[in-house]
Structure 1
Amino acid sequence: MAADEIRGEAQGSAPVPLSVLDLVTVGAGSTATQALRTSVELARFAESRGFHRYWVAEHHSMPGVASSSPAVILAHLAAHTERIRLGSGGVMLPNHAPLVIAEQFGTLEALAPGRVDLGLGRAPGTDGATAAALRRTDRLSEGADDFPEQLAELTRFLDDDFPDGHPYRRIHAVPGPVQATSPGGVQSPHRPPIWLLGSSGFSARLAGVLGLPFAFAHHFSAQNTIPALDLYRESFRPSEVLDQPYALIGVSVLATDDEREARRQTRATALNMIRLRTGRPGLFPDPDDAEKHEFSPYEEEFVASWTSNIEQGTVDEVVAGLDALHKRTGVDELMLTSHAHRGEVRLRSYELIANAYGLPTA
């Protein structure tokens, strides 16, 4: 696996490569169909302006997030783009059999050769009851505890290299390397690079020990960002994949033409999270409705805490925040995620940031 399938190149005046994380947000009064059309528009825009990669994240049982099937969405995006890297940020491995993931991402690699990333997480991406329904078991701790073994199994399926005597030796993920060893077969030069995702130290250490690239969820676990990055770098061992650490962080951003509008939108984002965390998930609220909501003192405290980790406001404020964050963390890539009730607000945010950094147009 070539390191250049992982490492990006900064464009314009951006300090590092910029990428996009899309949760396929469904706003109140809208539909999943419209949200997915927005994702296509965003992916094509990101490609046209030199963003390095475009990832979607696995979530379940959340009405306002239409990204329950990353592989399906990525196949759709692959059909509407030509160059940008596409990937999962991430697939929650304990929810699935490793062979299924190997087959899905082998298929994606066949559809978009050399453009596919396989980002993996060990959290369920949902509540415990939904995770139990996905896994058909209520022993949820086993999935997280067995993550290194699941990862090793998935890697062997992707590389088709189970040792002799292994019960899976004669099982092959297709599309995959086995096709090259069949009569008349031709070896594909690519296989999806594996990334480990995390919001604490577990995956940071594991990614370092295995010499894999690491993506940290700064956008919802900012207090753990520096400790996790330090742990990743301290644990890193060179591998066939990387000779030195490569880390990106997910960052919530919202740039608007009017500073007040950014604050209005991010309060709606915070209200959405309050509802989710109190067991009342719904469609992403309209900012007008969020302004009418009577926030309790506890909710106001949550709003202040949640929005403090969003780089928001005018584009100058957002760019200054991103530059400072990069300087503080020393990461190799910034993956931006924008949350708003309407797709055009998100698209405008990325457009303002691209223009501010002088990202070239295709």
Structure 2
Amino acid sequence: MTGDAGPEREDVRGVVRGTAPAPLSILDLATVGAGTTPGQALAATTELARTAERLGYHRFWVAEHHGMPGVASSTPAVLIAHLAAHTSTLRLGSGGVMLPNHAPLAIAEQFGLLEALHPGRIDLGLGRAPGTDQATARALRRGSLADGEEFPTQLAELTHFLDGDFPDSHPYARLSAVPNGPQRPPIWLLGSSGFSARLAGRLGLPFAFAHHFSAANTVPALDLYRSSFRPSAVLAEPYALIGVSAVAVPAGGEEAARHLARSAALGMLRLRRGTPGPIPTPEEAAAYPYSPAEAEFIDSWLANVVLGEPGPVAEGLEELRKRTGADELMVTSHIHGVPARLESYELIAEAYGLTGR
């Protein structure tokens, strides 16, 4: 699927800037906070992408979610096109497109078009989960029987469409994904368990793990990825990034950062119990009457967020990088309030001495 092993692609591995020991990137969910609109959230994401480019973050990914009032990024390809038009050097991608929701040819056309418009700046990250509840997934897929178990078959089909190399005997041998330029976007596999880790390793693809909501599985999944890895035309050696929640504040230490992060934790609690909504304000999260079980969930969620002032946050991120062996860190500050989110990313960049582009 990825071709014979050889010189790897030069556009997969991230660029280290400043004093950071590894490339730093951003995952954004176009957060819709209580009291704001999706339009305002998307405008904030655009501002954040410009800021990320100015600060020197390497890549900026957006995620596909459906039926979640607190997340406005339902269609990554559309949002990526908008962000690319408002930036010039920032690498943009999907973290990710949920492949079972779509026809592989449609994804090949969308990302082929993005690559043609913005050559050398596009990543195609793919996930096998629906990114929503089962009823919404059925509505998205209509009569399709595609599910996570068919992911390897869908991935192979998508790759053949992008590369234009179906075998002559294949039913789609005469079909082409248009536009199809001299180089297609690199494919990344995303995961929160071992399935995609093993598949990414066997195919010699880069792998992104969702540490921010599956922390207990991070090290086992990355170990599985590395042990399964086979060199390919994409990578000679494994390359893995991890998504990690981080909230940096200028003063007040861990408690001030925890005050902001608790809003995302309450939003996740509501999502898990089937009542999703916009991300609540920190004040609402602080005043919420948590049951013992709910308080335990909040504490467990916050335990996996790197919190505090810039120095301790950088130290926490570095400890996590060393413990997991991640090649790149993709931070996400999924909190209420645009100024707080922008400040968090700016403070993390400052702690690592990022010098822009």
Same fold (TM over 0.5): yes
CA separation of 1:361 and 1:5: change in aligned 2, threshold 3 A: closer
Identify which of 206, 219, 222 aligns with 2:212: 219
Q: Work out the number of aligned pairs and report it.
A: 349
CA separation of 1:163 and 1:361: change in aligned 2, threshold 3 A: closer
How many angstroms does 1:3 deviate by?
Answer: 2.2
Q: Does 1:327 align with 2:311?
A: no
Show the counterpart of 1:181.
Answer: none
Structure 1 gaps of 5+ residues are 178-187
How many angstroms does 1:361 deviate by?
Answer: 3.3
Counterparts of 1:56 and 1:361, CA distance in 2: 21
Counterparts of 1:252 and 1:316, CA distance in 2: 16
Counterparts of 1:3 and 1:50, CA distance in 2: 22
Kindly indicate whether structure 1 or structure 2 has the higher relative contact order, using CA contacts under 8 Å at least 6 residues apart. Answer: 2
Show the counterpart of 1:144.
Answer: 148
How many angstroms does 1:261 deviate by?
Answer: 2.6
Counterparts of 1:267 and 1:337, CA distance in 2: 14
1:23-56 C-alpha deviation (Å, 9 max, x unpaired)? 0000011011111111111111111121110000
Runs of 4+ in 1 over 6 A off after TM superposition: none
How many angstroms does 1:262 deviate by?
Answer: 1.1
Show the counterpart of 2:106.
Answer: 100
Which runs of structure 2 are paired with 1:40-51 in the superposition (5 Å)? 40-51=46-57
Show the counterpart of 1:336.
Answer: 331
Normalized against structure 2, the TM-score is what?
A: 0.96
The answer to whether the Cα contact below 8 Å between 1:27 and 1:285 also exists between their aligned partners in 2 is yes
Counterparts of 2:143 and 2:347, CA distance in 1: 46
Which runs of structure 2 are paired with 1:11-160 in the superposition (5 Å)? 11-137=17-143, 142-160=146-164
The residue type paired with residue 355 of structure 2 is P
Q: Secondary structure at the match of 1:239?
A: coil
The residue type paired with residue 184 of structure 2 is R
Percent identity of equivalent pairs: 65
Counterparts of 2:292 and 2:338, CA distance in 1: 30
Counterparts of 1:57 and 1:256, CA distance in 2: 25
Instruction: Out of 231-240 and 257-266, give the one that drifted further.
Output: 257-266
Q: Secondary structure at the match of 1:146?
A: helix
Counterparts of 2:152 and 2:324, CA distance in 1: 26
Counterparts of 1:226 and 1:291, CA distance in 2: 32
Structure 2 gaps of 5+ residues are 1-6
Identify which of 230, 233, 236 aligns with 1:237: 230
1:280-339 C-alpha deviation (Å, 9 max, x unpaired)? 000110111112210110011001100000001111221110010011111110000111
Show the counterpart of 2:193.
Answer: 200
The residue type paired with residue 154 of structure 1 is L
Counterparts of 2:191 and 2:286, CA distance in 1: 33
Normalized against structure 1, the TM-score is what?
A: 0.94
How many angstroms does 1:137 deviate by?
Answer: 4.1
